[in-house]
Amino acid sequence: MGTERLAIIGGDAAGMSAASAARRRDPELEVVAFERGLYTSYSACGIPYYVAGLVEGADRLISRSPEDHRANGIDVRTRCEVVAIDLGARRLTVRAACGEESEEPFDQLVVATGAEAVRPPFPGADAIEAAATVGAAERLRAALERGGASAVVVGAGYIGLEMAEAFVDRGLRVTMIEQAPQVMATLDADMATHVQDAAEARGVRVVLGTAVEEIVLDDNGAPVGVRTADETFDADHVVVGVGSKPLVGLAEDAGLEIGDSGALRVDDHQRCPGHDGVFAAGDCAESHHRVLDRPVNIQLGTHANKQGRIAGVNATGGDDRFPGVIGTAVSKICRYEVGRTGISEHEAADAGIEVVSATIKDRTRAGYYPGAGPIWVKLVAEPGSGRLLGGQIVGTEGAAKRIDVLATAVWMGLPAQELALLDLSYAPPFSGVYDPLLIAARAVAKLV
Amino acid sequence: MGTERLAIIGGDAAGMSAASAARRRDPELEVVAFERGLYTSYSACGIPYYVAGLVEGADRLISRSPEDHRANGIDVRTRCEVVAIDLGARRLTVRAACGEESEEPFDQLVVATGAEAVRPPFPGADAIEAAATVGAAERLRAALERGGASAVVVGAGYIGLEMAEAFVDRGLRVTMIEQAPQVMATLDADMATHVQDAAEARGVRVVLGTAVEEIVLDDNGAPVGVRTADETFDADHVVVGVGSKPLVGLAEDAGLEIGDSGALRVDDHQRCPGHDGVFAAGDCAESHHRVLDRPVNIQLGTHANKQGRIAGVNATGGDDRFPGVIGTAVSKICRYEVGRTGISEHEAADAGIEVVSATIKDRTRAGYYPGAGPIWVKLVAEPGSGRLLGGQIVGTEGAAKRIDVLATAVWMGLPAQELALLDLSYAPPFSGVYDPLLIAARAVAKLV
């Protein structure tokens, strides 16, 4: 037996993190990554800012190009789609852009196939490309630069909200249509309402509790409107952001196990159970949720990078453990920053977990310091113990990154009554003398 | 025996927090607070912003006036100085502004006498009023509004730095003279150098390792220059910020115990040991430092408010505990935000604590997102366990409040290797895909 070979399916965050970690640890190892697109290691999270024009070239979203990776000794094959995995023979079937197929052997395998946008069932939806890749973002921006006066965003999750803002930045009249009765389902309704206020203040028309029935196309197949039961909205441009699902068909066909979340089951070393030397990481894989104590599929670049790195370490004989997630996320929506961690009140209810919660409103800076704005903090805690189970923050500049304090507290199981007296920092440019988190902790501690 | 009477010495954060907490808990109690100045519950932390002109009226620094407190049923006596405490007879001697003295009985007592600026020994220093009270700030601002082209700030702690920036904001030529070889002694030298850079970039001339020998006065006793061994600096205005010491003479004379820090000794209920019903809180009192595991005197509004409230609760039969401090602080210095928590490398060395440390430089936002700036993070950890013992952060907007994540981690004893994989938030407006804290944790984890 000659040199060992690590194959990686997928050239974005998780895949290339795995490749890079393996490369660093074992200079002898052959590392080959197959990516069906043109790009590697790009920031899908940056796409709304590129569409808005805040970021000039799409190449700025790429943190490492195929050439960069090749210079590090990783054999990157772009425009090469893996179409079959034979786990017994340890062999991939790879189809190049020209259509030619080849067999590629491996010793270790990292599956990092990512996720794809959910395509809604209504007529016309097939005509709308998901703005989830660098290429798609370039096509959308080119279309915007060709003109148009109106846009409709279907779905009011954080990507939909970011895209709505990007369209407003470009001077379009924007309508956002959401089937649920609130924006941002990851927040509780009372907190989501502030985000809706921010979008509306920025000029976005927000239509809630309304199903789209059709994307109306012209004779060339280009969108001209979006129809609901009540109304048809003009739409020179349409973006659909109604969620995305892990891309697991290939792995499932090969016999890898799918969890209840619909993503690939992995253990805490990113190993696919029952298949030695086979790993999965990133948007296609499950993560253990430490508060819910069950596997979940949360598609975020931060998890993809960490899990990819761990898969790369463990594929080369290492023993790294991914400790799980607690659902932390942050976003900037118009004038507000939004953060959440742990479980929300409605997630707790869905999971049958009894909680107490409190919401406070305060200011981001001392009242007399220029630029102070509103901040709302909602905390969710376990009755009796007071252990923090989750937090949500909405507010102006400086508000959202405070979520990391709550993430650390939830991670460690800090009781709210202890957080209320914790030695957090204070100076007038950053908060009143009691940080909003301390005030919120005190409020929820009274209820436990 | 009639109504009980709680007397409070000092009408700022700690004293009035105690008064308010006691008032809320016991509507029958007589609560009287003696304040030698004119104001209650003001923000000394806001003074530099008032001097700069960022905050218009000095009254904006007052969160609750004597009238506000009286409306809440607290008998506030301003311009009344307590000149003696008789713990045996449970009686205060109070001198009113007119010079008249009276005896005031108490059942419970809260000592919240605060701190006073250290007056340096060199000639001319007595002519400079410390800008530590609302009245002094008003006089300084009036002097600035009368004119002048130059200012010297003696001392490069955070107050000195904030005042230097305030003078630059007002168009003055500013020199800052510091005896130590670095600015901001609460930071390690490698981190303090970035703060110095920011001050210099803003136009402040920073003179380190240099002792002031004299403040040169004109015939009217007004400052005209500051002399060191090498040079005399023009100074139409002079501010001295070389530290402050707890005001404990009155309490010491009465027989209350002084700790090694020079502040009043208290237990974790803010009780003065050996004296039932006598409490101390705020800048005049010690706090337990959880990392150093010894009493310290850290003069900050955040501790004063918490300790005052606890003293007020316990003075009215409650059982609240102050859990101690870990040295968290934050400040905005010119273009940089600065935060620190736990112990620094040099504090560890001074205390004979063996540590490892690592410093990383990163960006405050994703590289492609507009407005990204530098951030430095230094972490100090326990060898072996990796337990975080301290952190320091310097960087542009969005940098410093991250210190609260480290404060929570230090408070809970989180190991750096666990922080490195903690589920902190990520979005391009707030960080790269690995938050700078995760990168720093990984760097120090490699050394433990």
Mean of all residue pLDDT scores within chain A: 96
**Tokens of residue A401, six digits:** 């990154």
- Rounded CA-CA distance A28/B398 in Å is 42
Interval B150-196: pLDDT, tens: 999 999 999 999 999 999 999 999 999 999 999 999 999 999 999 99
Contact residues on chain B for A60, CB-CB shorter than 8 A: 367-368
Q: For B425, which of A367, A401, A435 is closest by C-beta distance?
A: A401
Q: How far apart are CA A277 and CA A259, in angstroms?
A: 19
Cβ B395 vs Cβ B407: under 8 Å: no
Name which of A341, A438, A301, A254 is nearest A14 in CA terms. Answer: A301
Q: Does a structural domain hold residue A86?
A: yes
Percentage of residues of chain A with pLDDT beyond 90: 94
CA–CA separation, A80 and A88 (whole Å): 22
A49/B433 Cβ within 8 A:
no
Answer yes or no: is A175 within a domain: yes
Contact B396, B192 (CB under 8 A): no
The answer to whether position A331 is within a domain reads no
Residues B193 and B261 in one domain: no
> How far apart, in whole angstroms, are the C-alpha atoms of residue A418 and residue A294?
27
Same structural domain for residues B178 and B269?
A: no
Which chain B residues are Cβ-neighbours of A398 within 8 angstroms? Answer: 398, 401
Do the chains contact at B323 and A429, CB–CB below 8 Å? no
pTM listed for this prediction: 0.96
Alpha-carbon distance A26 to nearest alpha carbon in chain B (angstroms): 18
Shortest CA gap A310–chain B (Å): 10
Of A366, A404, A418, which is closest to B425 when you measure between CB atoms?
A404
> Are A164 and A256 in the same domain?
no
**Cβ-count burial of B312 within 10 angstroms (0-12 exposed, 13-18 middle, 19+ buried)?**
buried
Contacts of A49 in chain B (CB under 8 A): 368-369, 428
Identify the CA nearest to B134 among candidates B64, B32, B220, B31. B64
> How far apart, in Å, are the Cα atoms of A403 and each of A132, A338, B3?
26, 9, 47
> What residues of chain B lie within 8 A of the CB of A422, using their CB?
323, 407-408, 411
Report if residue A437 sits inside a domain.
yes
Choose among B60, B366, B407: nearest Cβ to A423: B407
In this complex, how many residue pairs, one in chain A and one in chain B, have their CB atoms less than 8 Å apart? 197
In terms of domains, do B380 and B413 share one? yes
A-chain CB neighbours of B419 within 8 Å are: 408
Q: What is the pLDDT of residue B11?
A: 96
Residue among B370, B401, B422 minimizing CB distance to A401 = B401
In terms of domains, do B211 and B134 share one? yes
Asked whether B173 and B166 are in contact (CB, 8 A), the reply is no
Residue of chain A with shortest Cα separation from B403: A425
CATH number at residue A379: 3.30.390.30
Q: How far apart are CA A169 and CA A150, in angstroms?
A: 12
User: For residues A168 and A149, is the Cβ–Cβ distance under 8 A?
Assistant: no
pLDDT at residue A1 greater than cutoff 70: no
Let me know whether A155 and A229 are in one domain. yes
- Determine, for residues A369 and B437 on separate chains, whether the beta-carbon distance falls below 8 Å: no
State the pLDDT at residue B12. 95
- Bridge-based pairing of strands B101-105 and B91-96 is antiparallel
CA atoms within 13 A on the CB side of B188: 24
Mutate to test the interface with A, among B423, B434, B438 (most CBs of A within 10 A): B423
- What total of structural domains would you count in chain A? 3
Query: What SS3 class is residue A289?
Result: strand
**Domain membership of residue B213 as a residue range:** 125-242
A360 C-beta neighbours (distance < 10 Å), count: 18
Check A341 against B423: CB less than 8 A apart. Answer: yes
Enumerate the residues of chain B whose CB falls inside 8 A of the CB of residue A429. Answer: 332, 337
Contact criterion met (CB < 8 Å) for A368 and B60: yes
Shared domain for A147 and A287, answered yes or no, is no
- Shortest CA distance to B235 belongs to which of B268, B190, B200, B205? B205
**What CATH number is given to the structural domain containing B259?**
3.50.50.60
Partner residue opposite A412 with nearest CB, options B398, B403, B414? B414
Residue A131 lies in a domain: yes
Catalytic residue among A45, A272, A284, A334: A45
Q: A103 and A155: one domain?
A: no
With residue A301 as reference, give the H or E element that holds it: helix A301-314
Please state, in angstroms and rounded to a whole number, the distance separating the CA atoms of residues A433 and B63. 10
User: Which residues have CB under 8 Å from A311's CB, separation 6+?
Assistant: A14, A17, A18, A21, A110, A112, A270, A279, A280, A281
Q: For A327, which residue in chain B has the nearest alpha carbon?
A: B423
**% helix, strand, coil for chain B, step of 5:** 30, 30, 45
SS3 B409: helix
**Residues B163 and B306 occupy one common structural domain:** no
Amino acid at A92: L
Tokens 């915007």 — which residue?
A: A144
Query: What is the tens place of the pLDDT at every residue in A353-368?
Result: 999 999 999 999 998 9
Strand positions, DSSP E, A23-154: 30-35, 75-78, 80-86, 91-96, 101-105, 108-111, 115-117, 150-154
Element (H, E) at A200: helix A189-201
Query: Same structural domain for residues B187 and B111?
Result: no
Per-residue pLDDT 10s for chain B (448 aa) are 458 999 999 999 999 999 999 999 999 999 999 999 999 998 888 999 999 999 988 888 999 999 999 999 999 999 999 999 999 999 999 999 999 999 999 999 999 999 999 999 999 999 999 888 888 999 999 999 999 999 999 999 999 999 999 999 999 999 999 999 999 999 999 999 999 999 999 999 999 999 999 999 999 999 999 999 999 999 999 999 999 999 999 999 999 999 999 999 999 999 999 999 999 999 999 999 999 999 999 999 999 999 999 999 999 999 999 999 999 999 999 999 999 999 999 999 999 999 999 999 999 999 899 999 999 999 999 999 999 999 999 999 999 999 999 999 999 999 999 999 999 999 999 999 999 999 999 999 999 9
- Same domain? B251 vs B358: no
Asked if residue B185 is part of any domain, the answer here is yes
DSSP string, A250-272: HHHHHT--B-TTSSBP--TTSBP
In a domain, B323, yes or no: no
Co-location of A177 and A284 in the same domain: no
Set of chain B residues whose Cβ sits within 8 Å of the Cβ of A405: 404-405, 407-408
- Cα separation of B391 and B419, whole Å? 13
Chain B: closest CA distance from residue A439 (Å): 11
Domain boundary among A260, A280, A315: A315
Instruction: Examine residue B325 and state whether it is found in any structural domain, yes or no.
Output: no
Distance CA A82, CA A242 (A): 27
Which residues make beta-bridge pairs with A280? A111
Average pLDDT of A282-303?
97
Q: At a CB cut-off of 8 Å and minimum separation 6, what does B146 contact? A: none
**Strand duo A5-9 + A108-111: pairing:** parallel
For A364, phi then psi, to 5°, come to: -75, -20
Q: Cβ–Cβ of A49/B369 closer than 8 Å? A: yes
3-state secondary structure A70-105: HHCCCEEEECEEEEEEECCCCEEEEEECCCCEEEEE
Structure-token pair, residue A428: 């007038």
Nearest-CA distance A378 → chain B (Å): 17
Asked if residues A215 and A123 have their Cβ atoms less than 8 Å apart, the reply is yes
Of A212, A242, A272, the domain-final residue: A242
> Is A98 designated active site?
no
Distances, alpha carbon A287 to alpha carbons A23, A108, A297, B269, B408, in Å: 24, 21, 6, 43, 24
Minimum Cα–Cα distance from A326: chain B residue? B423
**Looking at residue A304, what is its pLDDT?**
98
CA-to-CA distance for A351 and A343, rounded, in angstroms?
A: 10
Of B299, B390, B288, whose CA–CA distance to B346 is shortest? B390
Residue A154 has pLDDT above 50, yes or no: yes
| pLDDT surpasses 80 at A2 | no
Q: Which of B258, B280, B315 is the last residue of a domain?
A: B315
Name the pLDDT band for A272 (thresholds 50, 70, 90). Answer: very high
